[in-house]
Amino acid sequence: MNVDASVSIADQTAGVGGVLRDGYGTWLFGFTRFLGRCATLLTELWTIHDGLLHAWVLGYCQVELESGCLVVVRIVNSRSDVLAGCTLVDSIRRLIRKD
């Protein structure tokens, strides 16, 4: 799964999207979402959350997710207390741990 987020410099409106492909590169599913006004870090978190949630709902349990935001990837993969208590980060971590 490839995901990306975008925030307008002019008015801070944001959107996210992604595409899920199989191991051969065949398109399986795509999504977009308008977030309204949103900070860049939260936008990147939303794109990962939405991508993982869509994959899970569609029945894909083993997903390789690619994001261009190294900071967010490190946050969701770390065991540190970075953004501890953030509902969105906690939700992403729960999706990653689902069996």
Sequence spans of domains, the chain: 2-97
Q: What pLDDT score was predicted for residue 86?
A: 87
CA 11 centroid distance within chain: 22
Q: Which residues pair with 4 in a beta bridge?
A: 17
- Cβ within 8 Å of residue 83, ≥6 positions away: 75, 89
How far apart CA 18 and CA 8 sit, in angstroms, is 18
pLDDT tens by residue, the chain, 99 residues = 999 999 999 999 999 999 999 989 999 999 999 999 999 999 999 999 999 999 999 999 889 989 888 888 888 888 767 777 789 999 999 999 887
According to CATH, the topology of domain 2-97 is: Nucleotidyltransferase; domain 5 (3.30.420)
